[in-house]
Structure 1
Amino acid sequence: MYRRAGVVVVLFVLSGLALSAPSDAYGAPAHHQTYKEEPQPYQYQYAVQDEYAGTDFGQTEESDGQTVKGSYTVQLPDGRKQTVTYVADHYGGYKAEVTYYGEAQYPHEYGPPITFKPQSYHEPSYNPAPSYTPEPSYH
């Protein structure tokens, strides 16, 4: 009985050694092929301004394939406009400068919060009145 247990232990140890051996027959670590895409220059910008909802923000960005430069702006709740101008590359990292335009406003009186009812895309947002008067129908 002890001899069978010894054989099982030896087989277990040998299988562990076989599994931990390098997969390459020469002992070199496996080389994984990698694909590195060449950097591509790009440029984009967008802006959103909705006076009804009070939304005002945007961004511009461009890259020559090595360095990214850009800025984004957002209208803050206190009335100021915040602009972040940035530059980023693999050597200098991300560097940003934040500026503000305007003066913060803090009203003494507050009104009810402004909320917007969600709008369904399946029904019209308004119900127009007919522009004609229908004829009465008699039976």
Structure 2
Amino acid sequence: MLCKVQLNLSALVVVLAGLVATALARPDIPPVLGYGHPRPYTPEPLGPARYDFNYAVKDDYNGNDFGHQESRDGYNTQGSYYVLLPDGRLQRVTYYVDGDSGYVPQIEYEGVAQYPAYQPSPSYQPTPSYG
């Protein structure tokens, strides 16, 4: 008989714990610490964008040669970029951004395209197999 009472007492404790947890989780009860809901994020008004940047990469070992420069003051944006093409020419793009016309590029090429004849690398010499 003692065993039955312990089992019923355990069940009663579990039920009471569930009721307490449900009562504490009610949404109409204010938070215990009083933090409340966070204010919505409102960013500070920003002024017109202003920046100036540039970079250049020249790696003779790999043949990489490219760069970019751009400046902006409000809606006035202008810049240029260049890249050494695989055919040996340098492609240079100068541009500006006009509010009504958008991105306005001017593209120029320096040098003459060269296409040398293909020559396979003599470094690999397979060893003959006479199996």
Q: Structure 2-normalised TM-score?
A: 0.55
Question: Do residues 98 (structure 1) and 107 (structure 2) align?
Answer: yes
Contiguous gaps of at least 5 residues in structure 1: 1-32, 113-139
Percent of aligned positions that are identical: 45
Relative to structure 1, is the Cα distance of residues 52 and 102 closer, same or farther in structure 2, using a 3 angstrom cutoff? same
Which stretch has the larger CA shift, 88-97 or 42-51? 88-97
What is the alpha-carbon distance in structure 1 between the residues aligned to residue 80 and residue 47 of structure 2? 25
Is the CA contact (8 Å cut-off) linking 2:98 and 2:104 kept in structure 1?
A: no
Query: SS where residue 74 of structure 1 aligns?
Result: strand
Query: SS where residue 91 of structure 1 aligns?
Result: coil
What is the alpha-carbon distance in structure 1 between the residues aligned to residue 73 and residue 108 of structure 2? 25
Contiguous gaps of at least 5 residues in structure 2: 1-41, 122-131
Aligned CA-pair RMSD = 1.8
Compare the two structures and name the one with the higher strand fraction. Answer: 2
Is the CA contact (8 Å cut-off) linking 1:42 and 1:65 kept in structure 2?
A: no
4+ runs deviating over 4 angstroms: 33-36
Q: Structure 1-normalised TM-score?
A: 0.52
What is the alpha-carbon distance in structure 2 between the residues aligned to residue 87 and residue 55 of structure 1? 25
Question: Do residues 86 (structure 1) and 92 (structure 2) align?
Answer: no
User: How many residues are paired up?
Assistant: 80
Instruction: Using the TM superposition, give the Cα deviation of residue 78 of structure 1 relative to its aligned residue in structure 2, in angstroms.
Output: 0.3
Larger radius of gyration, structure 1 or 2?
2
What is the alpha-carbon distance in structure 2 between the residues aligned to residue 75 and residue 85 of structure 1? 15
